Chain A
Amino acid sequence: MIDYKDQLKLQSYLDGELAESDSREVADWLARNPEAAALKTELDQTRKALSGFEDGIKLPESREFYWSKIRREIQRQEAPAPPRPSEPWLYRLRRFLVPATGLAVVGLLVLTVTRDTGSFDASVETALEDSGAFTYHDDTAGATLVWLSYPADNEIPDDDDLNSVD
């Protein structure tokens, strides 16, 4: 049995991939070794059998049909990207109109609320100054709101209290 390394060397020899000195060495070995010579013959036969194989393969489509698909694809890829349709002036204006409308709505709301709460029937007072509470009373709506801050001003400890250690 021929060593695998030598088998590959024999193949390289057949493919013309060996240096001249190595080629001479393989040629000598082939002359002395019938097993190696038989392997060389087999590899040669396979190579010869393959030669010309592709010559017999013909494209199974007509010239026109084959080319038409290629041409279509080339034209498709080369066609410039369709330009974006120009925006009508109303669309361009929309980007400014939307925030402006938003602002207008907010403004209107503020005005409405101000007008309602600005009536003489409403009043704001600090009913319990010590506790930091504010009272809002609207006679028209008949509602009273009380804001309480927590902790109440009178509950905030002095710095001295914080620093003192019991």
Chain B
Amino acid sequence: MVKASQAGDMVAFEELVARHRDKIYARAYSMMRNEEDAIDLSQEAWVKGWQRLKQFQGESSFGTWMTRIVINLCLDQLRKHKRQRTESIEEMNEDSGGVERQMPVVTVNPTAGLERGELRQRIDRALGQLSHEHRTALVLHEFQELEYKEIAKVMGCSIGTVMSRLFYARRKMAALLADLKRENSK
């Protein structure tokens, strides 16, 4: 299918889009937290994918190659957004460092016993409360399964910053999920 697409077969390419479209859209959605942006960016990624198909050497799976394209597009978009808005208080707190160091450890599993749909909903809400830098670090590590150095390269920061962002994101997620559990049990 990939070979046929590389040869210019658009029917084969449409089949590739059909096979991977959910995954590419899901990655865009995880990063953007917005359905409309995720649809637009995932479509843009497919257009770019078609134009760069000849560069695909098969070193990774086609799906992984495509997710890299959509991640880069999302990062560009998020950087543009960031330039347009002032930093939130949340981000300033995170950058000044230390908040996550003092967070109490969540001892009870906040997602235990949840149905898949409900779990997804809570994670969705918690992810939405992270800054895009923290969310991106988490997405690249947990979903794209990149190593620290690869994340650093993609995000244009040091490995130390990746470690801090990842640690903050995880601890914040744990705290947010615990809060949601408390809210729901009231």
Contact = CB atoms under 8 A, between A and B. Distances in A.
A15 B39 contact: no
Nearest to A56: B120
Contacts, number: 116
24 contacts: A4-B101, A7-B167, A8-B164, A11-B163, A11-B167, A15-B148, A42-B171, A42-B174, A43-B174, A45-B111, A45-B174, A46-B170, A47-B170, A49-B119, A50-B138, A56-B116, A56-B120, A58-B22, A59-B22, A61-B39, A71-B14, A73-B44, A74-B47, A77-B51
B163 A46 contact: no
Interface of A: 1, 4, 7-8, 11-12, 15, 17, 35, 38-39, 41-43, 45-61, 63, 66-67, 69-71, 73-74, 77
A47 B142 contact: yes
Given A7-B167, A8-B167, A54 B173 contact: no
Nearest to A47: B142
Q: Mostly helix, strand, loop or mixed at chain B's interface? A: helix
Q: Mostly helix, strand, loop or mixed at chain A's interface? A: helix
A61 B27 CA distance: 16
B171 A57 contact: no
Interface string B42-82: 11101100110000000000000000000000000000000
Interface of B: 10, 14, 17-18, 21-23, 25-27, 29-30, 35, 39, 42-44, 46-47, 50-51, 98, 101-102, 105-107, 109-111, 116-117, 119-120, 123-124, 138, 141-143, 147-148, 163-164, 166-167, 170-171, 173-174, 177
